[in-house]
């Protein structure tokens, strides 16, 4: 088993991700005694801080973003003692020498969390290598975005591979750190109930929705160059699809799990120039209302013309034995009515209803796996309504709910990054993305984007606070399917 690192190097330590997620995650792990006792955390960013100034910065962030009931003064003081800071400008080779001096020996292991603009990946990797921070005991975690298409992704991955082999490279998709995403594997592979039906014989269709109520929220530069398909579909949503559709791995380990995921991604039916108009819809939000308040349109927020899509809906197929003929509907967008990440699985109806002519209307069973904002698993079943049935038997769809916070009330819910940072420090790659997965995802997404361009498809307008363009409704209703809102 891989030995835990004794040092953690945290790039982008003054950024929003660090303040909201990384520092609170590391504090939570330290407070619960889960980090190696002697783990030293070296933080770095371009800002000019010394150790004391950064510790004060980190303390402010922790007091703001860690719930008060979890903030222990003694644990906080102990955590801050672990932290030091070195300013680094990735464009200056001399800064990496100073960083290496601050980190010291990596003989007992160093884990690096790298969150930077794609344009700085190569310079940063080379700087780490020249400074001696890429030896055998060093592993690197890479936060997205890792490029904006297949070519740029390969360029970044080639630069990383020249210094860090695949078994020391940890590509991060924070969705894989969510409890309910991992629980999807438990639901499928730790229970005999679902597996016999988890195929084209038992499932009618699958929907995956990741909706946001926010607009640009300070991400103008990144988002307008990415759009919804590269921001959400290429990574988070395709990973969820792979976990839903994968074959049972032989074991729960990094190699077996990721082997099965990549098989699914390579089995995705290409959506090309000939099929893209029938199998995808893109939209861009205009002014409207969300949560009772007026919000501006995308172009108003951006301040210039743009054809960037803020909404995308796709009808996907997986061309393999298990999923032949089963559509997977993917939908994501900004300024939608609610914030949710959800997997909706509709099973096929019973082959023959004994209740026909008795006034009973049967609904197919449905499994709803909610990832956020509330983690929940719900199974919808048909049940008889109480009564004497003088006018015919009455059936009603009733839910069986497993609310994760209630079912595990005695266990603290973890931030996704807690799991991922701990796995990085301990060297477990199971919940990280392998290079062949990334490239299979980009190959599928690039073909869709090429189809949009070749067919001069422009985003259809939709009002903020609605579920996207009406064409997205038609995408499913042509198949007799309704989006689960």
Is 484 annotated as a binding-site member?
no
Count of beta carbons in the 10 Å neighbourhood of residue 256? 14
The single residue listed with the structure tokens 């970044």 is 156
Is 81 annotated as a binding-site member?
no
- Provide the angle, in degrees to the nearest 10, between the axes of the packed helices 23-31 and 73-82: 110
Task: Find the catalytic residue in 205, 236, 317, 352.
Answer: 236
CA distance 336 to 468: 7
β-bridge mates for residue 433, sequence order? 171
- In terms of DSSP bridges, do strands 395-403 and 376-384 run parallel, antiparallel, or are they unpaired? antiparallel
Task: Tell me the DSSP string of 281-315.
Answer: EEEEEESEEETTEEE--HHHHHTS-----SEEEEE
Count of beta carbons in the 10 Å neighbourhood of residue 287? 16
Is 130 annotated as a binding-site member?
no
Give the closest residue to 323 by CA, choosing from 420, 237, 242: 242
- Given a contact cutoff of 8 angstroms between Cβ atoms, the answer to whether 359 and 393 are in contact is yes
The single residue listed with the structure tokens 């009330």 is 409
Q: How many residues are present in the chain?
A: 485
Is 315 annotated as a binding-site member?
no
CA distance 445 to 233: 8
Is 144 annotated as a binding-site member?
yes
Give the closest residue to 127 by CA, choosing from 159, 165, 170: 159
Is 334 annotated as a binding-site member?
yes
- Mark whether 236 is an active-site residue: yes
Task: Tell me the DSSP string of 114-170.
Answer: E---HHHHHHHHHHHHHTT--STTEEEEEESP--SSHHHHHHHHHHHHTTS-GGGEE
Angle at 17 between CA 145 and CA 330, to 5 degrees: 50
- In terms of DSSP bridges, do strands 311-317 and 280-286 run parallel, antiparallel, or are they unpaired? antiparallel
Is 178 annotated as a binding-site member?
yes
The single residue listed with the structure tokens 């783990």 is 39
Give the closest residue to 437 by CA, choosing from 228, 189, 166: 166
CA distance 25 to 29: 6
Give binding residues for NADP(+) as ranges. 46, 144
Kindly list the catalytic residues: 236
Instruction: Show binding-site residues.
Output: 46, 144, 174, 178, 212, 231, 334
């Amino acid at each position: 088993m891989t030995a835990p690192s004794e040092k953690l190097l945290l790039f982008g330590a003054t950024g929003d991700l660090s303040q909201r997620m990384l520092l609170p995650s590391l504090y939570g792990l330290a407070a619960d005694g889960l980090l190696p006792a002697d783990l030293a955390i070296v933080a770095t960013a371009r800002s000019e801080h010394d150790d004391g100034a950064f510790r004060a910065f980190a303390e402010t962030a922790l007091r703001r973003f860690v719930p008060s009931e979890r903030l222990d003064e003694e644990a906080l003081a102990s955590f801050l003692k672990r932290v030091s800071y070195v300013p680094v400008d990735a464009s200056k080779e001399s800064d990496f020498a100073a960083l290496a001096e601050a980190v010291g020996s990596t003989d007992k292991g160093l884990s690096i969390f790298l969150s930077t603009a794609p344009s700085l990946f190569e310079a940063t990797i080379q700087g780490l290598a020249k400074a001696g921070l890429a030896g055998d005991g060093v592993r690197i975690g890479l936060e997205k975005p890792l490029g904006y298409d297949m070519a740029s992704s390969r360029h970044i991955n080639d630069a990383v591979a020249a210094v860090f082999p695949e078994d020391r490279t940890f590509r991060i998709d924070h969705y894989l750190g969510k409890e309910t995403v991992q629980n999807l594997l438990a639901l499928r592979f730790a229970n005999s109930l679902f597996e016999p039906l988890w195929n084209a014989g038992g499932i009618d269709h699958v929907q995956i929705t990741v909706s946001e109520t926010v607009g640009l929220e300070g991400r103008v530069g990144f988002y307008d160059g990415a759009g919804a398909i590269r921001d959400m579909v290429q990574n988070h949503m395709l990973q969820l699809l792979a976990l839903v559709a994968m074959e049972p791995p032989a074991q729960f380990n990094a190699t077996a799990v990721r082997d099965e995921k990549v098989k699914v991604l390579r089995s995705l039916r290409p959506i090309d120039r000939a099929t893209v108009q029938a199998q995808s819809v893109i939209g861009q939000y205009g002014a409207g209302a969300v949560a009772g308040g007026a919000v501006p349109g995308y172009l108003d927020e951006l301040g210039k013309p743009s054809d960037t899509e803020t909404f995308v809906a796709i009808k996907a197929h997986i061309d393999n034995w298990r999923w032949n003929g089963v559509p997977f509907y993917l939908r994501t967008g900004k300024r939608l009515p609610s914030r949710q990440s959800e997997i909706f699985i509709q099973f096929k109806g019973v082959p023959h209803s004994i209740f026909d002519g008795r006034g009973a209307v049967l609904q197919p069973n449905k499994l709803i796996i909610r990832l956020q904002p509330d983690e929940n698993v719900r199974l919808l079943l048909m049940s008889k309504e109480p009564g004497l049935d003088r006018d015919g038997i009455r059936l009603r769809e009733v839910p069986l709910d497993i609310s994760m916070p209630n079912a595990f009330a005695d266990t603290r819910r973890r931030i996704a990054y807690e799991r991922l940072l701990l796995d990085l420090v301990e060297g477990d790659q199971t919940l990280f993305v392998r290079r062949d997965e990334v490239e299979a995802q980009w190959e599928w997404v690039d073909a869709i984007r090429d189809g949009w361009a070749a067919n001069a498809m422009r985003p259809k307008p939709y009002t903020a606070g609605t579920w996207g363009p009406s064409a997205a409704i038609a995408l499913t209703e042509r198949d007799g399917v309704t989006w689960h809102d």
